[in-house]
């Protein structure tokens, strides 16, 4: 099989290359696509140097499947044209809510791939890790409402944002003046309750993505509200999730269900360090669930702590798993 990656030099593109190198997918030829600035440079793939091709000059007919990891503006311009010649898996938000575009987390709704028309969307990174935990619980008890607060790493905003965190941290420790270019306020030693632009009702686009994408992937009847916060760490998104069910539940069964959830691992000990933090999940394929407990204010609700590598399962790994699903469906 021939496969292409658009945006091969970015955070998600490079992580996708890493995942593909370790996957069992048999790739005959891989095409790495980027901007004119990166064209001509070389990236190693399975010990072979691959020359980066310029997007504007690339022929999309070369590959059966193309992963786009280049943002909404690039997707808006190039995905419709590319999809005439190749199946596109797009990591941007641009096509996610279009009715004829499947929004896919393979462990959750791989059956939706049956209706794709050569464009498939990868959900938001925060949505992916959350629905992995929600899906089996919803199947068993039917979820009525979700309240989620996210604590999102700066790598979700791109490489320049990671560089800014590092630079601000250095400047802060050296008592130098701190400048912010990628964030609305200083991110080093701080939290920013603002990711993406504000909507007219005071929610941010990131928060609305989580609401709308969860409804599309799981169930339109689920009520959900989100608060998304940028935190000064490099990699790993964390979520505090309150889940209310339609009816009463068996708490022992809740734990059993989560322990058997595809793509997830429960680490939940009621002692110091008996939970997972973002520092521990970098480059891990697993979504970790901790702090499982009853909501003492609501007999039909529970609380969870969910942590995952936002560049891995939140982007690159999910894309590669979609590729695997497409191959297996042939």
CA-to-CA distance for 266 and 132, rounded, in angstroms?
Answer: 12
Q: Is 158 left (phi over 0), alpha (psi -120 to 50) or beta?
A: left
Please give the positions annotated as active site.
125, 237
- How many Cβ atoms sit within 10 Å of the Cβ of residue 155? 25
C-beta of residue 124 within 8 angstroms of C-beta of residue 90? no
Collect contacts of 177-183 with beta carbons under 8 A, ≥24 apart: 182/157, 182/158, 183/157, 183/230
Beta 237-245 vs 143-152: how paired, if at all?
Answer: antiparallel
C-beta of residue 284 within 8 angstroms of C-beta of residue 309? yes
Count Cβ neighbours within 10 Å for each residue of 181-198 and write b for 16 or more, e otherwise. eebeebbbeeebebbbee
CA-to-CA distance for 86 and 64, rounded, in angstroms?
Answer: 5
Residue 12: partners with Cβ closer than 8 Å, 6 or more residues away: 69, 91, 311, 315, 316
């Amino acid at each position: 099989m021939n496969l292409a990656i658009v945006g091969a030099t970015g955070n998600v593109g490079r992580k996708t290359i890493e995942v593909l190198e370790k996957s069992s997918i048999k790739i005959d030829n891989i095409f790495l696509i980027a901007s004119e600035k990166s064209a001509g440079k070389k990236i190693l793939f399975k010990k072979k140097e691959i020359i980066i091709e310029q997007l504007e000059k690339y022929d999309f007919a070369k590959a059966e499947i193309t992963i786009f990891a280049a943002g909404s503006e690039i997707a808006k311009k190039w995905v419709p044209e590319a999809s005439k010649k190749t199946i596109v898996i797009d990591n941007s938000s641009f096509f996610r809510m279009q009715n004829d575009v499947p929004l896919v987390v393979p462990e959750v709704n791989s059956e939706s791939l049956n209706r794709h028309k050569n464009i498939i969307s990868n959900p938001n990174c925060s949505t992916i890790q959350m629905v992995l935990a929600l899906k089996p619980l919803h199947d068993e008890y039917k979820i009525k409402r979700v309240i989620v607060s996210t604590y999102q790493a700066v790598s979700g905003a791109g490489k320049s944002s990671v560089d800014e965190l590092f630079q601000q941290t250095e400047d802060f420790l050296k008592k130098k003046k701190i400048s912010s270019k990628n964030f609305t306020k200083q991110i080093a030693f701080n939290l920013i309750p603002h990711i993406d632009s504000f909507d007219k009702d005071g929610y941010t686009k990131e928060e609305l993505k989580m609401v709308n994408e969860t409804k599309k992937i799981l169930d339109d009847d689920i009520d959900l509200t989100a608060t998304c916060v940028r935190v000064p760490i490099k990699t790993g998104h964390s979520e505090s999730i309150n889940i209310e069910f339609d009816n009463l539940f068996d708490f022992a069964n809740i734990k059993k269900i989560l322990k058997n959830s595809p793509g997830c691992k429960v680490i939940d000990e009621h002692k110091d360090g008996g939970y997972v933090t973002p520092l521990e999940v970098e480059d891990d394929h697993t979504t970790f669930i901790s702090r499982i407990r009853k909501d003492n204010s609501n007999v039909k609700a529970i609380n969870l702590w969910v942590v995952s590598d936002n560049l891995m399962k939140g982007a690159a790994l999910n894309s590669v798993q979609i590729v695997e699903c497409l191959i297996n469906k042939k």
